Chains A and B, each alone.
Chain A
Amino acid sequence: MMRLTRMLTFRSIRARFPRFALSAFGIILGVAGLLAIRATNTAALNSIVTLFESTSGRAKLTLVTAEADQGSFSEEILQRVQTTPGVALANPLVIVRTDLADDRPAAGLNLGLFGTDAGGLALHGVVPSLETQTRAYTLTAGRFLEEKPKEYEIVLVEEYARDKELSLGDWVEILTPNGVRRLKLVGLIAREGPGQTNNGSFGVMPLDTAQELFNRARNLDQIDIVLVNPNPDTAELASLRANLQDEVGAKYSVVYPSGQGERMTQMLQNYQIGLNFMSGIALFVGAFLIYNAFAMTIVERTREFGMLRTIGMTQRQVVAQVFVEAGILGIFGSAAGVGLGVLLARGLTRLMEVIMNQGLGSVDFASPDILFSLILGLGVTLLAAGLPAWQAGRISPMEALRVRGKSREGWLIRYGWTLGALLLIGSVVLLVINPFPYDVQFRLGSLTVFGLFTGATLLIPVTVGVWERVTRPIMGWLYGASGSLGSRNVQRSRVRTTLTVAALMVGVAMVIMVRGMTESFASDLRVWMKAYLGGDIYVTSSVRMRSDIGRRIQEVEGVYAVAPIRYFDVKWQTPTGETESLNFMAVDVAAYTRVTNFVFSGQQVNCQFALQRIQQEGTVFISNVLAEKYDLGIGDALRLRTASGYRDFEIVGIVVDFYNQGMVVEGDWETMRRYFHIKDASTFLVKVQEGRSAPQVQNEIDMLYGERYHLTLESNESVRGRALNLMDQAFRMFDVMALISIVVGSLGVVNTLTMSVIERTREIGMLRAIGTTRGQIVRMVLAEAALMGAIGGILGLGTGVVLARILFIGMTTMSGYQLTFTLPPEGVAFSLVMALVVSQIAAIPPAIRAARTRILEAVQYE
């Protein structure tokens, strides 16, 4: 067996090395994509967990207020926590977010798409002796905070200080609700452990100072709890947490510190599911290329296999030879894929860092991941080679005796269309009827991808004749007499035509799919963003803004309307009785509707009525995501936790909202004040009077109130631009995947057309002998390619639209966004043109090869 393998398989690989390499390319890309995504996933998830764990130090539990908006609470509770059995140390913290006085950063827009939430300077007010027992700071210069300093002091992360050109001993000017205050920089810490907080834009100051400067007299934001047993097991920790919770009562929540990372982890996972799906498809496209290459090899070697069968090779031996070749391909391809995957992971990690606004550190490649990728790559290759191997085994020994090699048309080519039609109908029905819950649909979706591609591929052979007859006049018109000759050639080997067309189809389908999905997301996001970031100027601040600032802005000349907005987290009871977190967006409805509009979901009946109702007591709008997910409708009750306990709110409208992954409830300003006791604003949307210049008004507001209230003003156009840019970055990875499949598809064209030219060497020689020019030969090959490009393009369009829908359903389900499916006509036209262009470019090398055929050698060609 080994000797036979060495003689036949190895030499066959060497003899057809370019094709071997092309096939390997498919598997390399698939495996690389998969490994890179897995590694990046792990790195991203680990970094989040590590970040929260290292920033929480030795604290195993954290106490925060259970109130809405997680505000401050009285420090009286500290004593009770400290004396609870099992608690070694209770470390009080004041947590504030501010900015340096001379630092006017761009507005930190939290889109809630992927959990980006950074910017500004995070400061912790700490008791130095307790803080250093809780967290391990690495001091790089100066000293740590003193317990009772004579003047205000601060310790900053070294990198941050360097960025802001601050040195030890400098006075650091920060924004506080009471104006700019100066603190002496007494120490610098490394960006590790707690220094990683807020991506390194972090510092600490004494607790008293923080309480004084940020109006938190005798108030705290958080208590970190270090336990007597530094390493309790899960059960012990849970019981301690329950004890503490009992001790402090329902006004407080005792949570696990790393739990804070869960939401971000969840968001990240949603995005990664999409990427995983795409890399799965890339692997499938790779598998398709391998199938294509092997099927071509079998066609090419039909007579050789026939001879081997004649001289006594069994069917099993033939099949084994093909599998050995596939195995070698799989091993080399997967190994190279792992190599490329390592490189790709670095790129992907950088992208993820941009999306998360969080350094991920180095990417580790766990051996199980590498092993999994290797096994998957090899498995897919063997699977893809299965059918060609089986076909090779069934080659009749009589093929060797034929005067001319003839490509066999197996039953799959002749009768496969019935199976193809069934697969196609089945896949489409599965998608149209949608009898399953969303998550099942998404999983089934991956399966239907295979069904669709295979179904469409099996339909190609029976339809080739029709395609050819319809397009023959066009080919004749485009390429002259040799055009219609080339056009007819596609009917000669339906196997070959099918494989080429299928490769193109997959490529085009991928482009359509990515375009359709991106456009659906982008167009809906634009509509929402236009309303969400309505008006002309977006006003925000690193410190809390009193709502009367809005009234002052309103008085500025040229301002038409000012709408205050406040976002805060609120607990709610789901219809199934669980407690979850929602984002409450409170707006002054009257002002808001002057600046912008609510985007009501399609289910809304009477918008005017809804706007009247929302201004009444105890009413809310909910996002369509919530409505869909929890089967809530207008008139239903939503149970929210208010300052005075749980209360039902009537749902009076359903709106489109992408903020916080759609987990949003919207209410009137008065509702917020009355039930949640919140009075300040997060943002003001400003609309400028008609005919007035927005930049001028923006300057005016900035001049009057910018410094006074520490406002950050930005034109809404630029905020929207940044938001869309963030979205584009997230989608760019999908474009890369689509590009890969086009490259793979065009390789399929080169592969099959070259085969076609080699097989017809004698015929081309004859055509040259009877007076066909080289140019005519080139046009003949190009016409053949163009026709295959057209068929591939049209079929790719069909399958692509269906696939785009599958992915769309998957993405909307996973992300929670409810979108409308959009497929831009120019995207469709682009993909069809692209299929033709790719087919023509890919046909150039085989066409040149054909044109260079030497007449005498060719007519003797066996």
Chain B
Amino acid sequence: MPVLEAKDLRKEYKLGGHRVNALEGINFQVEKGEFVAIMGPSGSGKSTLLHLLGGLDSPSSGGITLAGQNLARLSEHKATLVRRHNVGFVFQFFNLLPTLSAEENILLPVIIDGKDPRKYKERLARLLELVGLQDRRHHKPDQLSGGEQQRVAIARALVTEPAILLADEPTGNLDTKTGTAIMELLRRSCDELQQTVIAVTHDARAAAYADRVIFLRDGSIVHERTADSEEAFGPRLRGILETMEQLEAV
């Protein structure tokens, strides 16, 4: 049974009196533990799709089923609770609270949920180990590098064991080396924690870590590329780059 399913997803905006179709009939499914990258040129609808999948915005028509619930029909409050329990977010600009330590930032979703963070000691230790920040747990965001901040953000997204982790340009604000480390971390979370991950990215290198890459153009899925588990990183990256070139050429 898929963790996430989008059915004939459409989103219309009104912009200066004109109707703009941001998404036009998107259909796809994501299985548990799968790592999906969404790619496409600027204005292709990637961010809109991510907003709909995370329950941040509602579709004009169509449905999204996440962990057995149709997000399109939920009230604002219920959508918030779905986000709280079933969605983890990783942002391009990390979005950590500057007044909290790394550890407190990671535990923030648990605290918001009114749970006792002391009961999450083991989970915290495991996540800190996963992101490699055991020694930096008491540091404030301004004492951490960009890569470290993003790792804190990933740990925060994973702390509630969400059904799905949504990453919006997770390497967009990082150098290549740090970006690689972050993508490897997301990959490991899939492999080791059976975490489902959907990442929106411009970066073909980042997308090459995914099991499947969905290519969008003008609000529609125009191509899907599923990686062969035997396929090496190099050829996989080349394949993605070629597809992107073709899309941008059209």
Give the interface of A toward B (CB within 8 A): 1, 3-4, 7-8, 11-12, 14-15, 303-304, 306-315, 317, 396-398, 400-401, 403, 862
User: Which of A7, A306, A312 touches B84 (beta carbons < 8 Å)?
Assistant: A312
A862–B156 CA distance with the chains assembled, in angstroms: 20
> Which residues of chain B in 60-115 are interfacial with respect to chain A, using CB atoms and an 8 Å cutoff?
76-77, 80-81, 83-85, 88-89, 91-93, 95, 97-100, 104, 108-109, 111-114
Verify if B47 is at the interface (C-beta below 8 Å from A): yes
Q: Which residues of A contact B117 (CB under 8 A)?
A: 3
A-B CB contact pairs (8 Å), 10 listed: A7-B108, A8-B97, A14-B99, A312-B81, A312-B109, A312-B160, A314-B77, A314-B80, A315-B76, A401-B168
Of all chain B residues, the one with the shortest Cβ separation from A311 is B109
A3–B156 CA distance with the chains assembled, in angstroms: 17
Verify if B188 is at the interface (C-beta below 8 Å from A): no
B92→A312 contact, CB < 8 A: no
Q: Which residues of A contact B83 (CB under 8 A)?
A: 310-312, 397
B111→A7 contact, CB < 8 A: yes
B85→A312 contact, CB < 8 A: yes
A313–B160 CA distance with the chains assembled, in angstroms: 13
Question: Across chains A and B, which 7 residue pairs bring their CB atoms closest together, nearest first?
Answer: A312-B84, A11-B99, A307-B95, A311-B109, A397-B56, A15-B99, A313-B112
Q: Which residues of B contact A398 (CB under 8 A)?
A: 51, 56-57
Q: Mark B35-51, 1 if CB is under 8 A from A, else 0.
A: 00000000000010011
Of all chain A residues, the one with the shortest Cβ separation from B92 is A403
Q: Which residues of A contact B76 (CB under 8 A)?
A: 315
B100→A311 contact, CB < 8 A: no
* Known interface pairs A1-B114, A314-B80; A11-B100 also in contact (CB < 8 Å): yes
A8–B173 CA distance with the chains assembled, in angstroms: 26
Of all chain A residues, the one with the shortest Cβ separation from B82 is A312
Verify if B54 is at the interface (C-beta below 8 Å from A): yes
Q: Which residues of B contact A313 (CB under 8 A)?
A: 80, 84, 112
Q: Which residues of B contact A396 (CB under 8 A)?
A: 56
User: Which of A3, A303, A307, A862 touches B111 (beta carbons < 8 Å)?
Assistant: A3
A308–B114 CA distance with the chains assembled, in angstroms: 14
Q: Mark B113-147, 1 if CB is under 8 A from A, else 0.
A: 11001000000000000000000000000000000
Give the interface of B toward A (CB within 8 A): 47, 50-51, 54, 56-57, 76-77, 80-81, 83-85, 88-89, 91-93, 95, 97-100, 104, 108-109, 111-114, 117, 156-157, 160, 168, 173
* Known interface pairs A312-B81, A397-B83; A307-B91 also in contact (CB < 8 Å): yes
* Known interface pairs A1-B114, A12-B99, A311-B89; A401-B81 also in contact (CB < 8 Å): no
Q: Which residues of B contact A401 (CB under 8 A)?
A: 47, 50-51, 56, 91, 168
Report which residue of A3, A8, A310, A317 has the largest number of chain B beta carbons within 10 angstroms of its beta carbon.
A310
A862–B150 CA distance with the chains assembled, in angstroms: 14
Q: Which residues of B contact A14 (CB under 8 A)?
A: 99
Q: Which residues of B contact A307 (CB under 8 A)?
A: 89, 91, 95, 97
What distance in Å separates the Cβ of B121 from its nearest Cβ neighbour in chain A?
A: 15
A175–B19 CA distance with the chains assembled, in angstroms: 100
What distance in Å separates the Cβ of A753 from its nearest Cβ neighbour in chain B?
A: 22
Of all chain A residues, the one with the shortest Cβ separation from B54 is A310
What distance in Å separates the Cβ of B42 from its nearest Cβ neighbour in chain A?
A: 12
Q: Which residues of A contact B57 (CB under 8 A)?
A: 398
B91→A308 contact, CB < 8 A: no
What distance in Å separates the Cβ of B71 from its nearest Cβ neighbour in chain A?
A: 13
Of all chain A residues, the one with the shortest Cβ separation from B76 is A315
Report which residue of B51, B54, B56, B157 has the largest number of chain A beta carbons within 10 angstroms of its beta carbon.
B56
Q: Which residues of A contact B99 (CB under 8 A)?
A: 8, 11-12, 14-15
* Known interface pairs A3-B117, A401-B56, A401-B168; A312-B112 also in contact (CB < 8 Å): yes
User: Which of B88, B92, B112 touches A4 (beta carbons < 8 Å)?
Assistant: B112
User: Which of B51, B104, B108, B173 touches A311 (beta carbons < 8 Å)?
Assistant: B108
What distance in Å separates the Cβ of B198 from its nearest Cβ neighbour in chain A?
A: 14
Q: Which residues of B contact A12 (CB under 8 A)?
A: 99
User: Which of A3, A303, A310, A317 touches B56 (beta carbons < 8 Å)?
Assistant: A310
What distance in Å separates the Cβ of B79 from its nearest Cβ neighbour in chain A?
A: 9
What distance in Å separates the Cβ of A242 from its nearest Cβ neighbour in chain B?
A: 71
A202–B16 CA distance with the chains assembled, in angstroms: 86
User: Which of A11, A314, A400 touches B91 (beta carbons < 8 Å)?
Assistant: A400
A8–B111 CA distance with the chains assembled, in angstroms: 10
A306–B54 CA distance with the chains assembled, in angstroms: 13
Of all chain B residues, the one with the shortest Cβ separation from A313 is B112
What distance in Å separates the Cβ of B94 from its nearest Cβ neighbour in chain A?
A: 9
A14–B98 CA distance with the chains assembled, in angstroms: 12
User: Which of B50, B51, B80, B93 touches A309 (beta carbons < 8 Å)?
Assistant: B80
